[in-house]
Amino acid sequence: MKISVLYKFQSGPWGGGNQFLKALRHQLTQMGQYEENPRKADVVLFNVYPFGAEYLFREAVKIKKEFPNKPIVYRLDGPLFLYRGRDKDIDLIIKKFGDAVIDGIVFQSKWSMEQNKTKLGISAPYETYIYNASNNQIFNDKNKSPYNLRQKIKIIATSWSANWNKGFKIYRYLDQNLDFLKYEMIFVGHSPIEFNNIKWIKPLPSKELAQILNQQDIYITASQNDPCSNSLIEALTCGLPAVVLNDGGHSELLGKGGLTFINESDIIEKIEAVANNYSSYRCSLPTFSIDKAASDYHQFCKKIVDAVNKKGYQPKEITAVSKLSFFSIRIRAWKWKFWTKFRSKFI
């Protein structure tokens, strides 16, 4: 049984979803379970937002028309409106599209599944959640620098996005209040603010980022409503205990590999606690294997295919009702684009 990923892949430094899907595609290929052509695959794994790659939505509909028995599975995070603080229309478009076309959903965390279902009513005949994983050939702790209390404790935060909800209020607080005689901190990625004490490094390719992570001691993320932080997973996989905002899917991923914080009032206290009990947290780090993630995706998709083959499930078909739904999606998408352009120019 072979899977094809319907997604606009990007080369070089890019967002976490892109990096995960490249690793997943590579691992499925190694397993002999990947098909580049979605029309030849047994299952299509769809991972697209309705803006930026709209043609892939149209492509998914075409595939459904041509191959009505071919299941389409949506890899979904969000809800997006919680993370962005706006753009709920995008989530609602995804729901409409899912109701008409999608046979299964892989949410990226339990938190994401619960929030999408309760706040948006997003569901599918087949559902599960599977955590992301990084490319373990790149992100690993084989070259991890030893922890040395005689030197400054090295802290790192990363973010591809410069969205304020990625935690920049907290990072600015640390820039102003962290004891830089005891700690040093770097930030890798895009940022909406300048730092005075934190060293800022622009986005890096995965191999270079992994090298820097291996040289650090503690990872910090303060991103809000983040369903399954690929950046956090990369850091944990590189052997870094973490201090994370108690929000979104962070605590699910962290397990016993660090501590959660609430806001500015307790973050430095939690950093000190991890630094003082470093070996204990280091030994309790969770593991994220791309091998396991790929196997879980394959098993979930195979479950749907087996049900189809045994006549236990009939994949969704393009009907007159779904065509009407696609028309309403286009109208909603047009309104969203118009409002977004208006907002960027005049608000």
Which pLDDT tens digits describe the chain residue by residue (347 residues)? Answer: 999 999 888 776 666 778 899 999 999 999 999 999 999 999 999 987 756 667 888 899 899 999 999 999 999 998 988 877 777 888 888 898 899 899 999 999 999 999 999 999 999 999 999 999 988 999 999 999 999 888 999 999 999 888 899 999 999 999 999 999 999 999 999 999 999 999 999 999 989 999 999 999 999 999 999 999 999 999 999 999 999 999 999 999 999 999 999 999 999 999 999 999 999 999 999 999 999 999 999 999 999 999 999 999 999 988 766 665 666 666 666 665 666 665 555 55
Q: What is the model's pLDDT at position 345? A: 59
Q: What is the model's pLDDT at position 216? A: 98
Q: What is the model's pLDDT at position 322? A: 61
Domain around 234: 153-283
Domain boundary among 283, 298, 327: 283
Q: Residue 95: inside a domain, yes or no?
A: yes
**CA separation, residue 197 to residues 33, 100, 173 (Å):** 48, 51, 11
Q: What is the model's pLDDT at position 258? A: 98
Tokens of 277: 């009990």
CATH code for the domain in which residue 93 is found:
3.40.50
Residues 278 and 316 in one domain: no
CATH code for the domain in which residue 239 is found:
3.40.50.2000
Distance CA 108, CA 45 (A): 14
Q: Residue 232: inside a domain, yes or no?
A: yes
3-state secondary structure 73-136: EEEECCCHHHHHCCCHHHHHHHHHHHHHHCCEEEECCHHHHHHHHHHHCCCCCEEEECCCCCCC
Domain boundary among 237, 255, 283: 283
Q: What is the model's pLDDT at position 13? A: 64
Predicted TM-score of the model (pTM): 0.87
Residues 20 and 103 in one domain: yes
